[in-house]
Amino acid sequence: MAHEVADARDITPQEALLGLVRTAAARAAWSDAVVASKLRKHVAAGGDPMDPPAELVPWLRESRDERTAATRTAKAAIDGGVMVALERRLDLEGEVVADTLAAVLDVLGLDHEQRLLALTTAQAKLAGEPLPGSVVPVVEVPEPDLMEDFKRFAEREGFDPAGLDDDQEDDDDDIE
């Protein structure tokens, strides 16, 4: 049956089996929902939940049959290697995401702490966990070299800073 579905939909037999499993599970869930709804109405009208009305008997049978079909379909999928193929596919998709993230982080040129924060954030987001708090980046401000600044200033202004001597005082600038 999976091969016919696969051919008709132009998908792999494993994908067809997985689709059949989903359909069978949905049908079982739907029939269970019908049973639950009818039983609730029966109880709300004063009926005994342990003694369902006659109209519920076919739905109980339908629910059981759908569960049996879903179980058989799931077993066929497992036997057909669908779960192994699905696991491989998820692993491959995970590797693609990880490789892409690593490439992005490489291009950004983040330092070790920033890279670790980015990876932790990505992992938390993918796992549905709370994201870590943002970190204020530390910017190192270099100490100014005042002597170098003064030498550049002196060159721009056209005098030789080497000719200045701190030991010789100029009497002009003393205030008495």
Range with lowest mean pLDDT among 15-19, 98-102, 118-122: 15-19
pLDDT score recorded for residue 6:
65
Task: Answer yes or no: is pLDDT of 12 > 80.
Answer: no
Q: What is the mean pLDDT of residues 83-105?
A: 85
What's the sign of the alpha-carbon dihedral 51, 52, 53, 55?
A: negative
86 vs 145: CA distance, rounded Å: 63
Task: Answer yes or no: is pLDDT of 92 > 80.
Answer: yes
Task: Answer yes or no: is pLDDT of 128 > 80.
Answer: yes
Range with lowest mean pLDDT among 46-50, 73-77, 120-124, 127-131: 73-77
115 vs 11: CA distance, rounded Å: 40
Question: Percent of the chain beyond pLDDT 90?
Answer: 18
Q: What is the mean pLDDT of residues 70-80?
A: 81
